A = this chain, B = another copy of it.
Amino acid sequence: MPPQSPAVDQGISELFQLLRDGAPRTRAELAKATGLARSTIAARVDELMRMGLILPQADGVSTGGRPPSQFALNPAAKVVIAADIGASHATVAIADITGSILAERSEPLDVAVGPVPVLTWILDNAIELLAQSSRTIRNVAAIGIGVPGPVEFATGRPVNPPIMPGWDKFDVPGWFHHHLHVPVLVDNDVNIMALGERAISWPACDQFMFVKIATGIGAGVIAGGALQRGAQGVAGDIGHVQISRGADVPCRCGNRGCLEALASGAAIARTLRGLDIEARNGNDVIDLIKAGNIDAIQAVRQAGRDVGEVLTTCVSLINPSVIVIGGSMARVGEHLIAGVREVVYTQSMPLATEHLSIVQSVTAERAGVYGAAMLAVDRALAPDVLTTGLVAP
């Protein structure tokens, strides 16, 4: 769609933001809600229909004369591509502009093969999924991608990602723009998991924290209703906070006593090996827990307490109403969360924990792909992108 004059833009955007909730409205209702002239509304409605973003609906209640026509969001108007790239697997999906997943595919894929093979896999599979959904690449309004490492969100470039060789400062949006010119949003996996878990399980919660406990530990922070990335995009990086029992345990970051060095899946496995229990990694720990191994249960509970020690400060600082514990280690269930709760509820001020829920992730391994879809939809429907069709530089 061509760029339009600023005046036209604003009217269109204002109208569409009203219609995003999906409820049908008449021209008169739209005029009343926006303060725009009836003639302006008529022109804007025609433009939004031409763009395919809204559709005429069954007529409203007759007012005696000719019944007014109603218009509502066309959820099928556009689609987004959502991708969740993990260390050793990847998921790609097609979602409509309400964030509902239309088609999805997951495969083992090593992120360390580098950006071009991974992004090619995403694009090729997205095109196949689009065809399955009777769409083409021309229907795509935006792309959202989560990666297992830090990202400079404004540019979509990974920054010194420790487990993503070849990805440092790679221009992910630029690569996609050779193929289709739509907004490309890249964020770290924990941030998109926070967006996904909230969208599915806690849509009304504006003070929200998602803690991923897996090979690493990190958090996604939603405060005042918005995902907070911080000044350098590293907000939520709680895995390298030093904890009290850490003392001399070395961490891969170069420091000592970090939360991640004591409470990640790998760290719990190491603790168990110290007790002569065979545990190569977090998955083995989960198997041991399922088999009822007491040492594994105790080690996981202690890891929960360690996470809780750091979360106590987080609770004091940002006062969330919900903390979701996710990531692969959350699959051990209540033992981990019990440890978290034990410390947070003991050490925090009563007012901060009075209505605080600490719960297990509901979306589990799908949090990422849901969140990537939300990231793409929110950008695709933002006023500037919507009205100009242009990708921000």
At the interface, yes or no: A318 with Cβ under 8 Å from chain B?
Answer: yes
At the interface, yes or no: A35 with Cβ under 8 Å from chain B?
Answer: yes
Contact of A223 with B232 at beta-carbon distance under 8 Å, contacts A7-B32, A8-B35, A35-B7 already known: no
A9 to B35, CA, bound (A): 8
At the interface, yes or no: A316 with Cβ under 8 Å from chain B?
Answer: yes
Asked if A223 and B234 make an inter-chain contact with CB atoms under 8 angstroms apart, the answer reads no
Among residues 354 to 386 in chain A, which have CB atoms less than 8 Å away from a CB atom of chain B?
A: 354-356
Contact of A318 with B352 at beta-carbon distance under 8 Å, contacts A35-B10, A241-B313 already known: no
- Closest chain B residue, CB of each to CB of A257: B347
At the interface, yes or no: A33 with Cβ under 8 Å from chain B?
Answer: yes
Asked if B352 and A234 make an inter-chain contact with CB atoms under 8 angstroms apart, the answer reads yes
B residues in contact with A103, CB < 8 Å: none
At the interface, yes or no: A147 with Cβ under 8 Å from chain B?
Answer: no
Residue count of chain A within 8 Å CB distance of chain B? 60
- Closest chain B residue, CB of each to CB of A246: B244
Asked if B240 and A316 make an inter-chain contact with CB atoms under 8 angstroms apart, the answer reads yes
Among residues 302 to 322 in chain A, which have CB atoms less than 8 Å away from a CB atom of chain B?
A: 310, 312-314, 316-321
Asked if B10 and A241 make an inter-chain contact with CB atoms under 8 angstroms apart, the answer reads no
A14 to B226, CA, bound (A): 23
Asked if A238 and B313 make an inter-chain contact with CB atoms under 8 angstroms apart, the answer reads yes
B residues in contact with A6, CB < 8 Å: 32-33, 35
Q: How often does this chain occur in the complex, in copies?
A: 2
Asked if B318 and A317 make an inter-chain contact with CB atoms under 8 angstroms apart, the answer reads yes
At the interface, yes or no: A102 with Cβ under 8 Å from chain B?
Answer: no
Asked if B352 and A232 make an inter-chain contact with CB atoms under 8 angstroms apart, the answer reads yes
A315 CB, min distance to chain B CBs, angstroms: 9
A244 to B309, CA, bound (A): 11
Contact of A150 with B253 at beta-carbon distance under 8 Å, contacts A207-B231, A242-B312 already known: no
Contact of A351 with B160 at beta-carbon distance under 8 Å, contacts A233-B319, A235-B319 already known: yes
B residues in contact with A238, CB < 8 Å: 313, 316-317
| 0/1 string, A17-46, CB within 8 A of B gives 1 | 000000000000001111111001000000
A167 CB, min distance to chain B CBs, angstroms: 16
From B8, B14, B232, B356, A231 is in contact (CB under 8 Å) with: B356
Asked if B8 and A235 make an inter-chain contact with CB atoms under 8 angstroms apart, the answer reads no
| 0/1 string, A333-345, CB within 8 A of B gives 1 | 0000000000000
At the interface, yes or no: A173 with Cβ under 8 Å from chain B?
Answer: no
- Closest chain B residue, CB of each to CB of A5: B32
| 0/1 string, A112-131, CB within 8 A of B gives 1 | 00000000000000000000
At the interface, yes or no: A163 with Cβ under 8 Å from chain B?
Answer: no
* 15 A-B residue pairings within 8 Å (CB atoms): A6-B32, A7-B31, A7-B33, A14-B35, A150-B351, A159-B351, A219-B317, A221-B318, A224-B228, A226-B226, A230-B318, A230-B320, A231-B356, A237-B349, A241-B313
